[in-house]
Amino acid sequence: MIDEVRISDLGVIEGAELRLHPGFNVVTGETGAGKTMVVTALGLLLGARAESSAVRRGAERAQVDAELTVRGDHRAVRLAEEAGAWVREDEDTIEDTIDGTIEGTEDGVGRYAGETALMLGRTVSAKGRSRAGVSGRAVPISVLGEVGSALVTVHGQTDQLRLRSAGAQRRALDGYAGEEFAALLAEYRSRYADLRAERAELEDITAHERRRRLEAEQLQQALEQIDEVDPQPGEDAELKAEALKLENVEDLREAASAASAALSGPDVAESVDDAPHAVALVERARSALSAVSDQDPELAETAAQIESVSAMLNDAAGQLGAYASSLDESGPERLAQVHQRRADLDRLTRLYGPDVESVVAWAEESRARLSTLQSDGDRIEVLRASVAEAETQLWEQAAELRRRRIRAAELLAEAVGTELAALSMPHATMVVDVAETEELGPDGADAVAMLLAPHAGAQPLPLGRGASGGELSRVMLAIEVVLAAYDSADTFIFDEVDAGVGGRAAVQIGRRLAMLAEHVQVIVVTHLPQVAAFAQNHIRVHKSSVLDDSASGGFTASDVRSLSDEERVDELARMLAGQEDSASARAHARELIADASAT
C-alpha cells in the first residue's frame, strides 16, 4: 500500500505531498491541470521511461519519492533485499532516499504487525539522466521496476500491465479456482519436480553412456594402481624420516659411539684410554659428598641431586650404546626399499592428490562413483519404469486440474460478464479458454487465454486487441473486481477508466471501484463526479498561472492536495456544472456523496 508520495518539479507540479488512503483514492482537476502527472509520477516509480521534457521548466531535475507499507514476506521485500536495500531497519527512522532524505514514521519500520516500510525513489535530470533508489540504495531502473510492479498495477488508456501475459492469466484463474485447487496444484508441482529430476538423471546416463563407460574404465585403472601401492595415511612422512636416518647411518653411529664413550668410557676391549669420563667423574663427586652429607642438610640435598644426575647419565649411556648397536649393516638395502616406496607414493600424489591422505580420500570417493557407473544398466531400467509411471500419474492429475480450471473459467467469465453489463458494456463477452497442451508443464498441461468480444457477434480476441482504451480499462476493472478476493496486487491505479461513459454507467463504475477498494488500495484519475463521490480520499489538482515581466511571460503551476468534506462538495459541484458556487450543483454533489455512502 502506498502511504505517501512526494513530487517535485515534475511537469506543472512544483511540489506536492500526497497522503493516500488504504482504500479508494480519487484524483480530479480541470483539463490540463496536471492530473496525469500524478499517474506519471507513479509510473516513474514503476520503472517507466523518463523523458527530460517531464522536468519542470527552469528546474534542474524532477524527483518522485514514495513510502509504502509492505508485508514482511512480500516478493517486493525480497527483491529489494537482493538489490542491497535495507528494508528491515530497527531504528525509529529511515533516511536517505536516492537524492535526499525522507523521515520515517514515528513507529519506524514494521510499525504494523508483520509489515515493514519500503521507500522508492526516482529522479530525472533536465539533461535526461535518470536515477533510481530503493530504501536508500541506488539500483538500476529495471530493479526499481520489478519492485514497483510487484506492488502496484496500472490500468490506463495506453497501459494495461496486469494479466497481459499468458502466465499471469493462468495464475489469476488458478487463484480464482480456490484453495482445494491450490492444494492439488501444489501436489502436482511437487511430483513434477521429482519427474524432472528423474528425467534429467536418465537423460544424463543414456546421452553420455560412452563418456560414463570411459570414465568407469579410467576409474577402474586408477583404483587398481592405487590398490597395488596400498598407501597408508601418514606413510609419506614416516618414510621421509626413515630415509634421512638411513642416508646418514655412519655419521649417526659415530656420533652415538663418541657420546657413549664420553659418558661411560670406551669399550675395554677396544681401547686402553683411561681418561676420566662423565659417569666416573659424577660418581666420584657423589662418593665425596656421601661421606659428609649427614653433617649438613644443604650438602645432603646437593648430594641427592648429583646421585640423580649419575642415574640419568648411566641411562643415557646405555641408550646410546643400544642405538649404535641397532644401526646394522643392512642400511643400504633398506634405504633402497624406502626410496622405491617413496617414488611409488610420489607417483600417486602427482596424479590423485597433493599428499597421501588426499589420495586415500580420492580413492574412497572414486569407488563410490565407480559403483554408480557400473550399475548404469540397472539404474536405467529403474528410471525408465519410474518416469513412465510418474508421467501416467501426472497426466491424470493434469486432467483433473484441467477439469477444475474449465469449471473455474466458466464461473469467472460469467462473473466478469455480469460486471461488464453493469459497466455499460452489456453486449461484451468474456471468454476464458483452457486448452490442453501436448506436454506436461510445471503447472499442468493447460494453456489459459482470456479473450474478449467487446460487441455482439465480434470474434473473441486476446485482451488488449479489439477494444478501445476506455473499454479495456473497464474490462480490467470488471476482472479485478471479480478477482480481488483471490488474486490481486496491493495497489491499483486506473487512469480514465470512465472514458466515454456517463450517467448510470458512471455510478456503476464508481460503485465497483469502491468494491475493489474493500480488498486493495485503489487510485483513480477521473473526470466524472459520479465516480469521485465514492472515494474515501479526494485529491484535487488545481492549476494556476502567474504572470511576470520576463521574456516567457510567466509560468503555470499546479497545486495537489487532499480535500476536506466541504471542499469535496465544491469540487464535485465544479465537475457537475462548472460552477462550484452553484447552489443546485452543490446540492447535487451532496446527493451524490450521500448516495455513494449509502451503497
For 134-174, how does the pLDDT look when each residue is reduced to its tens digit (9 = 90+)? 988 888 888 888 888 888 888 765 555 567 778 888 998 99
The whole-angstrom separation of Cα 70 and Cα 151 is 8
Q: With pLDDT > 90 as the criterion, what percentage of the chain qualifies? A: 24
pLDDT at 100: 38
Residue 203 has pLDDT above 50, yes or no: yes
Please tell me which residue, 492 or 558, carries the higher pLDDT value: 492
The whole-angstrom separation of Cα 396 and Cα 391 is 9
pLDDT at 16: 85
Are the C-beta atoms of residues 163 and 476 closer than 8 Å to each other? Answer: yes
Instruction: Tell me the mean pLDDT in the region 493-514.
Output: 80
pLDDT at 95: 42
CATH number of 2-162+489-562: 3.40.50.300
Are the C-beta atoms of residues 431 and 448 closer than 8 Å to each other? Answer: no
The whole-angstrom separation of Cα 337 and Cα 295 is 63
Residue carrying the nine cell digits 465544479:
574
Q: What are 538's strand-pairing partners? A: 26
Q: With pLDDT > 70 as the criterion, what percentage of the chain qualifies? A: 83
pLDDT at 99: 42
Query: Cell triple for residue 540?
Result: 484535487
Residue 101 has pLDDT above 60, yes or no: no
Digit-coded pLDDT (tens) for 404-462:
999 999 999 999 999 888 887 888 888 999 999 999 999 999 999 999 888 888 888 88
The whole-angstrom separation of Cα 575 and Cα 371 is 82
The whole-angstrom separation of Cα 436 and Cα 420 is 28
Residue carrying the nine cell digits 462473473:
415
Closest Cα to residue 239, out of 330, 326, 337, 347?
A: 337
Helix crossing, 235-247 with 249-264: angle to 10°? 70
* Other residues' Cβ atoms within 10 Å of the Cβ of residue 589: 25
Closest Cα to residue 443, out of 191, 198, 150?
A: 191
Digit-coded pLDDT (tens) for 297-329:
887 888 788 888 878 888 887 787 677 666 665
Alpha helices in 230-268, H assignment, sequence order:
235-247, 249-264
Model confidence at 488, in pLDDT bands (50, 70, 90)? low
Are the C-beta atoms of residues 352 and 226 closer than 8 Å to each other? Answer: yes
**Backbone φ, ψ for residue 79 (5° rounding):** -60, -40
Least confident of 399-403, 407-411, 595-599: 595-599
- 3-class secondary structure for 286-329? HHHHHCCHHHCHHHHHHHHHHHHHHHHHHHHHHHHHHHHHHCCC
pLDDT at 206: 76
pTM (predicted TM-score): 0.62
Please tell me which residue, 581 or 529, carries the higher pLDDT value: 529
CA angle 60-62-63, nearest 5°? 130
User: What residue spans define the domains of the chain?
Assistant: 2-162+489-562, 235-369
Digit-coded pLDDT (tens) for 14-49:
888 889 999 999 998 887 666 778 888 888 888 888
Please tell me which residue, 110 or 117, carries the higher pLDDT value: 117
Beta-carbon contacts of 236 under 8 Å, excluding residues fewer than 6 positions away, are 342, 345, 349, 355, 356
| Bridging pattern class, strands 461-462 and 444-453 | antiparallel
pLDDT at 244: 76
The helix or strand, by DSSP H or E, that contains position 99, with its residue range, turns out to be none
Query: CB-hemisphere CA count at 13 Å for 265?
Result: 14
Residue carrying the nine cell digits 529403474:
382
Q: Across the chain, what does the average pLDDT equal? A: 81
